[in-house]
Amino acid sequence: MLKIKSRFEVIEKYVRGKEVLDVGCVGLGYQKMEDFWVHGRICKVARKVVGIDTQKEEVVKLKKRGYEVLESDVNERLNLGKTFEVINVGQVLTYLTNFDTFFDNMRRHLQPDGTLILSATNAHSLKNFLKYVFGRLDFTYTNFQNDISMRNLLDKYGFEVRHVEYIEEPSRRRIGKIYQSFFKSLPSRLSSHVIIIAGLKHPE
C-alpha cells in the first residue's frame, strides 16, 4: 500500500543529533512551504547543519534568516573543508548533469561510517505517469530514476544500500487528496518518491 508520509518523517531518525550536509536545501515548489520544508525541519533536530543550493537569491534570503547555507553546484567539484556524519540529498538527483563529480563530492564529504540519504522522484510511479500523459511532469529533469537505477548508481560509485523506502507525500490540494484516497491500495513501489539510505563501501 502507499505510505502517506513526508520525507522528513523517514529521514528524521538519521539526522537527529548529527552534523548534516543538506544538498538542495532550498527545495522547489510546495517543498518551500514551511511545514514541507525539509531543511528547516532538519535544522530543528540536528546538531549542526550546512545547506547548499544553486538558487542564489534563495540562498541569500536564507542567510539573512540565520541559516548556514552556501551557493554551490554539486555538478562541480566541492571543497567544504570538512566531512559530515550525514549527507541528505533532497530531490536533486533528477537534475544532475555530472554523476561522476556528484558522487565524488559525496564520497569526499561523508565520514567513513556516515549516512547518505538519497531522495528522488520515482519515474515509475502512477502519479508521475499520469502527469506525463497530461503534460504536467517537470520537464526540467535531466534524467529519470527509480529504485533500481538508484541502487545501480550507488553501487557503481562505491556506496552500499542499507534501506529503501517508497513514500507518497501528503497532498495539500483537493485533487491530490482524492488521488491518495482512491489509489491508497497501490503497491508501494508505485509511490511518487524513493528514499535510499546508504553508506560507503568498506574494503573486505
On whether residue 2 sits in a domain, the answer given is no
What is the predicted pLDDT for the residue at 5?
Answer: 77
On whether residue 34 sits in a domain, the answer given is yes
Q: What is the mean pLDDT of residues 125-135?
A: 80
On whether residue 146 sits in a domain, the answer given is yes
In this predicted model, what pLDDT tens digit does every residue of 170-184 receive, in sequence order?
A: 666 676 665 566 556
On whether residue 107 sits in a domain, the answer given is yes
What is the predicted pLDDT for the residue at 30?
Answer: 44
> How many structural domains comprise the chain?
1
If you average pLDDT over every residue of the chain, what do you get?
88
Structural domain harbouring 29: 7-200
More confident residue, 180 or 129: 129
Classified as helix, coil or strand, 40 is: helix
| CATH number of the structural domain spanning residue 47 | 3.40.50.150
On whether residue 99 sits in a domain, the answer given is yes
More confident residue, 25 or 136: 25
Can you give the pTM of this predicted structure? 0.91
On whether residue 1 sits in a domain, the answer given is no
Least confident of 40-44, 58-62, 155-159, 172-176: 172-176
On whether residue 22 sits in a domain, the answer given is yes
What is the predicted pLDDT for the residue at 173?
Answer: 67
More confident residue, 126 or 144: 144
The answer, yes or no, to whether residue 84 has pLDDT greater than 50, is yes
**What are the grid coordinates assigned to 184, written together?**
491508497
Distances (CA, A) of 143 to 88, 94, 124, 146: 19, 5, 13, 10
More confident residue, 87 or 27: 87
Least confident of 42-46, 116-120, 132-136: 132-136
More confident residue, 180 or 81: 81
Q: DSSP H helical segments within the chain, as ranges?
A: 7-15, 38-45, 56-64, 99-109, 126-133, 147-156, 174-182
Rg of the Cα trace of the chain? 17
The answer, yes or no, to whether residue 190 has pLDDT greater than 90, is no
Positive or negative: CA dihedral 93, 117, 32, 2: positive
Nearest to 109 by CA among 93, 87, 125: 87
